[in-house]
Amino acid sequence: MLDLDPYAALQKLRPVESFHVTSADFDDGGALARPQWSAAAGGVDRSPQLSWSGFPERTRGFAVTCIDVDAPTGSGWWHWAVANLPLSTTSLEAGAGAPGGPALPEGALVLRNEDGDRGFGGVGPPRGTGAHRYVFVVHALDVPSLDLDPASSPAILGIRCFFHGLARGILTGIANRD
């Protein structure tokens, strides 16, 4: 059985409140659907649908990230990072922000993933590395937007979320190619 405490594998984060995140595309702790896999692994690199509720009243904005905490890198593998989502955004459609997909709200900033692309890089754990946990996190922030250079890495977004985070909602999907 996999440990579903996703951040224990990489780091210790400042404790914050939690809130509810769901997806129409997968259940927490369940397998990711084929569209969420990378094209190289037989998928279509489509971000999953996400919805969230129950965040603190003092929330002013959101960020969304996805990291493979089990990537054999020692630092994880960032698949998706979206900053500056307005308070009025409480869901993202599947494929949000991808070329030809549903638009993100005005002002949202999509950072480059580990593959160097702006958008969701689908999952595809290397063969022989077992099951991987893909951790989708919605960060409730105390500011409406973060001052980020568009060339910032997801790790820079992570540190900004650390200092501005009020709460986080976590949803974990699993993928395995063994």
Write down the pTM of the prediction: 0.93
CA-nearest of 170, 175, 176 to 23 is 170
What is the spatial distance between Cα 162 and Cα 79, in angstroms, rounded to a whole number? Answer: 19
Quick one: pLDDT at residue 9? 46
Contact of 51 with 19, CB cutoff 8 Å: no
171, pLDDT greater than 80: yes
13, pLDDT greater than 90: no
Instruction: For domain 6-175, give the fold.
Output: Phosphatidylethanolamine-binding Protein (3.90.280)
- Least confidently predicted of 1-15, 43-57, 109-123, 131-145: 1-15
pLDDT digits (tens, 9 = 90+) for 35-94: 999 999 999 999 999 999 999 999 999 999 999 999 998 889 999 999 999 999 999 999
Q: Sorting pLDDT into bands at 50, 70 and 90, what band is 10? A: very low
The Cα-based distances of 43 to 33, 35, 102, 153 in angstroms read: 9, 5, 18, 25
Locate the domains of the chain by residue range.
6-175
Quick one: pLDDT at residue 97? 85
The answer for residues whose C-beta is within 8 angstroms of residue 21's C-beta and 6 or more apart is: 50, 51, 52, 136, 138, 169, 170, 171
